[in-house]
């Protein structure tokens, strides 16, 4: 039961952080074609998981409970690939195939690149 509580706590914090990032973009950029808030949290989440995953892989400093809190809970609540999929679906349903492809390419390529950058950076510190 404690593991569920740890994941839930991390997920709640991650979801609140995702909401704050998304709202900041909505308030700052009222007329944008791409979902920049979603792109930002996905790329940032990929960087964080790459960086912390690299530290966990090379230094073995995270207790299992901390891994649950951060990796499963926080990052699971923070990143928004379910929202990403739905936004792609909406673009395609509305005939905006170009924006769907652009959005998908940005998020997938930037996500992979930032996982790699985070992982490599973790080895440098």
Q: Give the separation between CA 125 and CA 34, rounded to whole angstroms.
A: 34
DSSP letter assigned to residue 41 = H
| 76 in a labelled binding site | yes
3-state helix, strand, coil in the chain (%, to 5): 85, 0, 15
Q: Give the separation between CA 15 and CA 76, rounded to whole angstroms.
A: 8
Asked if 80 contacts 38 with a C-beta cutoff of 8 angstroms, the reply is yes
| 79 in a labelled binding site | yes
Q: Give the separation between CA 86 and CA 78, rounded to whole angstroms.
A: 16
**Binding site residue list:** 76, 79
- Which residues are annotated as part of the binding site for Na(+)? 76, 79
């Amino acid at each position: 039961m404690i593991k569920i509580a740890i994941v839930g706590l991390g997920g709640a914090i991650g979801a609140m952080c995702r909401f704050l990032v998304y709202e900041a973009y909505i308030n700052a950029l009222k007329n944008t074609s791409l979902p920049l808030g979603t792109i930002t949290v996905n790329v940032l989440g990929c960087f964080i998981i790459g960086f912390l995953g690299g530290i966990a892989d090379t230094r073995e400093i995270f207790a299992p409970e901390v891994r649950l809190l951060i990796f499963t809970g926080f990052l699971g609540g923070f990143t928004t690939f379910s929202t990403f999929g739905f936004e792609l679906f909406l673009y395609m349903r509305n005939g905006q195939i170009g924006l769907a492809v652009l959005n998908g390419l940005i998020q997938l390529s930037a996500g992979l690149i930032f996982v790699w950058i985070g992982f490599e950076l973790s080895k440098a510190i």
